[in-house]
Amino acid sequence: MNMNSSFLDNVEFLDEGIDLANFSKEAEIEKYKDITAAPWELIIRLFIEPPQTSDGIYIPQSVHDEQQYRACVGLVVKQGCAVYLDPRYEQTGRWCEVGDWVLFPRHAGFKIHYENMPTFVIKEDGVSGVLLNPLSVRR
């Protein structure tokens, strides 16, 4: 192995995106069963549209790759054990729950690939909004 290369150089990060027409929140959340969030953090599965439209048109790979961190919308798949329990949330209550689509700033946390799925880890106060449909947000 070249001393200047990382083991990640040989790993392919493939994500087919989330096809909302054939989507199950429960199945997506289940993919994260083996990861635990830190007490005040949320784990969010980043929303990426599939590389092929419902009409069969393929999105160029460069455009598909850019989507991964362009629009910061995702599905909350895990919450830490202390999320929203701080007294400062007594007036507002929980901002989101596991299974909610949320909007968050790109700088709110850090990105990882968990089991080849683009994922963000953010603090509980990093959520900017809750959405019904992730397709409603565009940059």
> What CATH number does residue 59 fall under?
2.30.33.40
Expressed as residue numbers, the domain containing 91 is 26-136
121 falls within a domain:
yes
In the numeric block, the tokens 């946390």 are attached to 109
15 falls within a domain:
no
What is residue 50's predicted lDDT score, i.e. its pLDDT? Answer: 66
If one counts the domains in the chain, the total is: 1
5 falls within a domain:
no
127 falls within a domain:
yes
Q: What is the pLDDT of residues 43-95, one digit of tens each?
A: 999 887 766 666 777 767 666 566 555 568 999 999 999 999 999 999 988 99
Please give the structure tokens belonging to residue 126: 């990093």
21 falls within a domain:
no
- Would you say residue 118 has pLDDT above 70? yes
Strand 109-114 and strand 101-103: the pairing is unpaired
85 falls within a domain:
yes
